[in-house]
Amino acid sequence: MLIAGYGFLSVGAAVSCYFAFAWLGTEVRRSVVISLLAGVLCGLSACLNMGMRMSGIVCFLFLAVFIPIVLEPKGTWIDIAAALSIAYAQFGMLQVTAGTILRIDFLSLFFRVMLMVLGILTAYAICSKMSAEFPKTGWKEYFTEQKNTAGEGKMGDADRRMAELGIYFAVYGICLMIPAVTGIYTVPVMCLEWFSFFGGLKLLNLIIANRKEKMTVLTEKQYRDDMQTYMSVIRSQRHDYNFHVQTLHGLLLRKDYDACERYLNELLKDSIEMNQILPLQDAAVSALILSFKNKAAQSGIPMDISIENDLSQIATNVYETNKVIGNLLQNAIDEAEMVPDKSYGIKLSILKRGEFCIINVSNRVSRLNPMGTYRVGRSSKEGHEGIGIASIQALAAKYGGVVYSRMEGDIIFFVAKLPLQLYKEEKS
């Protein structure tokens, strides 16, 4: 009986770890390997103890150490909380199931073992069916940041949402492991464990799906706002065009050809600057860049724009593209405003290099390598939480890209390397 119980603990730990990592979107092969390793190690640690209850406690302690180690260095605290809670909840449910079935004295050991195997298979089948609802990778983006049209994150609300989610994870995992730790193995408790595990997992998926839907609405709203900005620019240009025609007509009537030539030169200069952003495929991206160009000009910061790729094949959608460009330009403006010499200004270039789109933003800084002491959640700039760069790095990583910085003297370069859609489709 003890051997059957230890075997059930081992298999239960493996299944619990597998679905905990599957919920986070870990690669299937990696999930299988680390889950089997967890199962073997849990089984070995269980064999060193006497009794199911004590062995279960040792397995819980093992998972508390094993899961954070496996998730590092990429895992964040909320990833660890999610994986631990789901693994604890499922392992607690399966341990109570095993303890309850093993205490059914009127059944033979063979039937009890078969019932335990049936319990694991049932749990696996239900979780497999629910796996289509798992948020997988990128689920934290729906909670960590809410962008407005100015490109500034409202991180106070995001911190509160993440804290509430962390508390839910903790309550979910602890409540389902308490009966297993305390040895409350009865049929009603077992039924309650099964209901609570799958009900809690379903609620988690619904919370994240609801947040995703809200972010989709916000994305559409931002797109409409960006388009409205672009249309406002078009209307403004039309108004300016009429004004310029009237001015040139008046100068010609006065036969002031020198003033007319000077005016045309200034007009040509403005026209060239405006044409710099016209090659872009999406008007919303053009509107965003133009709004930041105007914002920089108000602070006396010139912005040089060079576009060799229209972004029509970039893997990110327009909201995500604006998120990357907006964060990089906002950081550049913040740094450039603190530099006395604004002659370098801000340089934005959008290029195509092989199967990648390269978005490069550079500016002069007033301090030596501001990214040298960078930490997620902390920023040396007042009113900033240091999450912008981390969020676009996570976004780029989701598509197989990267965001990094480098220094050349007192000039910092931020480079976003994002794959093109055609390459992504061929790769998949």
Which of these ranges, 98-102, 259-263, 292-296, 379-383, has the smallest mean pLDDT? 379-383
Containing 303, the helix (H) or strand (E) segment is: strand 303-307
Query: 190 and 307, same structural domain?
Result: no
Query: Which domain does 370 fall in, by range?
Result: 276-427
Query: 198 and 308, same structural domain?
Result: no
Domain end call among 188, 213, 238: 213
Mean pLDDT of the chain: 79
**2-24 and 28-47 are packed helices; what angle lies between their axes, rounded to 10 degrees?**
150
Per the DSSP assignment, residues forming a β-bridge with 408 are 411
Domain end call among 213, 229, 252: 213
Which of these ranges, 17-26, 178-187, 242-251, 269-278, has the smallest mean pLDDT? 269-278
Q: What is the DSSP letter of 364?
A: E
Query: 307 and 201, same structural domain?
Result: no
User: If you search the block for the tokens 């676009």, which residue do you land on?
Assistant: 392
Query: 189 and 76, same structural domain?
Result: yes
In a domain, 263, yes or no: no
In a domain, 256, yes or no: no
In a domain, 254, yes or no: no
| Res 137 pLDDT > 70 | yes
Query: 394 and 284, same structural domain?
Result: yes
| Res 157 pLDDT > 70 | no
Mean pLDDT of all residues in 284-288: 79
| Res 2 pLDDT > 80 | no
Half-sphere exposure of 71 (CA within 13 A, CB side): 23
Task: Note the pLDDT of residue 195.
Answer: 94
Which of these ranges, 99-103, 227-231, 396-400, has the smallest mean pLDDT? 227-231
Mean pLDDT of all residues in 119-143: 85
In a domain, 126, yes or no: yes
Query: 122 and 206, same structural domain?
Result: yes
Q: What is the DSSP letter of 276?
A: T
Number of separate domains in the chain: 2
Task: Note the pLDDT of residue 49.
Answer: 56
Query: 291 and 200, same structural domain?
Result: no
In a domain, 234, yes or no: no
Query: 55 and 184, same structural domain?
Result: yes
Domain end call among 213, 240, 264: 213
| Res 358 pLDDT > 90 | yes
In a domain, 289, yes or no: yes
Which of these ranges, 7-11, 118-122, 355-359, has the smallest mean pLDDT? 7-11
Query: How sure is the predictor about 50, in pLDDT bands with cuts at 50, 70 and 90?
Result: low
Query: 296 and 188, same structural domain?
Result: no
| Res 356 pLDDT > 60 | yes
Q: For the chain, what percentages of helix, strand and coil (3-state, to nearest 5) are there?
A: 65, 10, 25
Mean pLDDT of all residues in 328-349: 90
Q: What is the domain-level CATH number for residue 310?
A: 3.30.565.10
Task: Note the pLDDT of residue 227.
Answer: 65
User: What sign has the CA pseudo-torsion 179, 182, 183, 184?
Assistant: negative
Are the CB atoms for 311 and 285 separated by under 8 Å?
Answer: yes
What is d(CA 364, CA 343) in angstroms, rounded to the nearest whole number?
Answer: 9
Which of these ranges, 260-264, 282-286, 396-400, 423-427, has the smallest mean pLDDT? 423-427
Query: How sure is the predictor about 345, in pLDDT bands with cuts at 50, 70 and 90?
Result: very high
Query: How sure is the predictor about 46, in pLDDT bands with cuts at 50, 70 and 90?
Result: low
Query: How sure is the predictor about 238, in pLDDT bands with cuts at 50, 70 and 90?
Result: low
Query: 22 and 104, same structural domain?
Result: yes
Query: 325 and 204, same structural domain?
Result: no
Query: How sure is the predictor about 366, in pLDDT bands with cuts at 50, 70 and 90?
Result: confident
In a domain, 245, yes or no: no
Per the DSSP assignment, residues forming a β-bridge with 416 are 359, 403
Query: 314 and 202, same structural domain?
Result: no
Task: Note the pLDDT of residue 422.
Answer: 53
Task: Note the pLDDT of residue 47.
Answer: 64
In a domain, 248, yes or no: no
Task: Note the pLDDT of residue 383.
Answer: 41
What is d(CA 15, CA 23) in angstroms, rounded to the nearest whole number?
Answer: 12
